[in-house]
């Protein structure tokens, strides 16, 4: 089979991660990168990769097998609609859309045009989390009772980013909402949120919070809780615990190194890895490979438009719960 020609739309931080991963795959060719604001990168030019600031230049390509969308969230739905005439293979970073109505439009388009639309919930492909899922499916801890997710960033993003992010629940917690569904096999039925600003008063001025606890009941009866913070000074804190009738499963943090020093004062280990690009390096590679395999015709498991809709509905309900100080149905 000829090499698979891919395109990237948006060359921000995550776009560059996907670009590097595409280049590393012998079976793929990164043909064109579209970004309206970034300067052209000579490293990509030297590799023969086209670069353009104009979206129409992508639509004029005639041999694109798949597109990875890494543009700002507000453009995702309109770009999917335009790209559906170019290729049926589209990978879109989260969130799929910012309203229920526009995601329902995408779902209709997926059915109408038989799109192979993947949503970028990369944590599903983390080796530890996917192994955790395997243990659950094998019934190794029996009936699920409770899922506890800790997800804390080492430092908040710039205020300029927060103002256009859609808020913590659509920007940060959305990954955790998807993990709850992925691990439990069930959607969230109801949630109740408490949140506050402890890190930066500018976040509060932007009508957002930097710290939140979300308690949930799922449609299958399982209970779940998520705790988020925009600032964990010790590193990127990513832990999951699943309690069942026959035991418990845990995934602890990935540390900067595995050396543990013990002295008469006690034991010391290193801090967690620094940020999501380090912590989830393998998941991004596996996520992209999964998309490529689907283009080749393989049957793969992936987050689809229904998963994108569920995560968005949970994020919107979380915001409503916080604002109204009451439980909300998802």
- Give residue 215's pLDDT: 98
The reported pTM is: 0.95
Distance CA 222, CA 200 (A): 34
Which residue, chain included where needed, has tokens 């002295």?
A: 263
- Write the Ramachandran bin of 12: left for phi over 0, alpha for psi from -120 to 50, otherwise beta: beta
Superfamily of segment(s) 4-120: NAD(P)-binding Rossmann-like Domain (3.40.50.720)
Identify any residues that bridge with 182 across adjacent strands, giving them in sequence order: none
Model pLDDT, residue 281: 97
User: What pLDDT does 1 receive?
Assistant: 59
CATH of 124-329, one of 3.30.360.10, 1.20.1440.230, 3.30.70.260, 2.40.50.100: 3.30.360.10
Domain ranges of the chain: 4-120, 124-329
Q: Please name the residues in contact with 161: beta carbons below 8 A apart, sequence gap of 6 or more.
A: none
pLDDT at 38: 86
Under 8 Å between Cβ of 149 and 180:
yes
pLDDT by position in tens, the chain (length 330): 589 999 999 999 999 999 999 999 999 999 999 999 988 989 999 999 999 999 999 999 999 999 999 999 999 999 999 999 999 999 999 999 999 999 999 999 999 999 999 999 999 999 999 999 999 999 999 999 999 999 999 999 999 999 988 899 999 999 999 999 999 999 999 999 999 999 999 999 999 999 999 999 999 999 999 999 999 999 999 999 999 999 999 999 999 999 999 999 999 999 999 999 999 999 999 999 999 999 999 999 999 999 999 999 999 999 999 999 999 999
CA distance 227 to 166: 18
């Amino acid at each position: 089979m000829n090499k698979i020609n891919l395109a990237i739309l948006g060359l921000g931080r995550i776009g560059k991660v996907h670009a590097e991963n595409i280049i590393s795959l012998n079976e793929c060719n990164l043909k064109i990168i579209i970004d309206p604001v970034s300067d052209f990168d000579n490293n990509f030019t030297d590799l023969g990769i086209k670069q353009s600031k104009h979206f129409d230049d992508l639509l004029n390509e005639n041999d694109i097998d798949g597109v990875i969308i890494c543009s700002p969230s507000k453009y995702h739905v309109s770009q999917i609609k335009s790209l559906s005439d170019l290729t049926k293979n589209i990978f879109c970073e989260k969130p799929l859309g910012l309203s229920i109505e526009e995601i329902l439009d995408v779902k209709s388009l997926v059915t109408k045009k038989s799109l192979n639309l993947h949503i970028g919930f990369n944590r599903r492909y983390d080796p530890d989390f996917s192994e955790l899922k395997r243990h659950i499916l094998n019934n190794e801890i029996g009936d699920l009772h409770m899922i506890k997710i800790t997800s804390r960033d080492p430092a908040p993003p710039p205020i300029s980013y927060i103002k256009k992010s859609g808020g913590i629940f659509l920007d940060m917690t959305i990954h955790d909402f998807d993990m709850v569904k992925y691990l439990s096999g069930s959607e969230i039925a109801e949630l109740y949120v408490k949140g506050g600003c402890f890190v930066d008063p500018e976040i509060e001025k932007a009508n957002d919070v930097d710290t939140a606890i979300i308690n949930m009941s799922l449609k299958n009866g399982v209970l779940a809780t998520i705790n988020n913070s925009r600032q964990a000074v010790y590193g990127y804190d990513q832990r999951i615990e699943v309690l069942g009738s026959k035991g418990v499963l845990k995934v602890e943090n990935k540390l900067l190194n595995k050396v543990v020093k013990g002295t008469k004062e006690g034991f010391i280990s290193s801090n967690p890895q620094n940020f999501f690009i380090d912590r989830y390096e393998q998941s991004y590679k596996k996520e992209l490979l999964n998309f490529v395999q689907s283009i080749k015709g393989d049957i793969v498991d992936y987050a689809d438009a229904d998963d994108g809709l569920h995560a968005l509905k949970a994020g919107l309900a979380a915001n409503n719960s916080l604002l109204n100080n009451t439980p909300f149905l998802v």
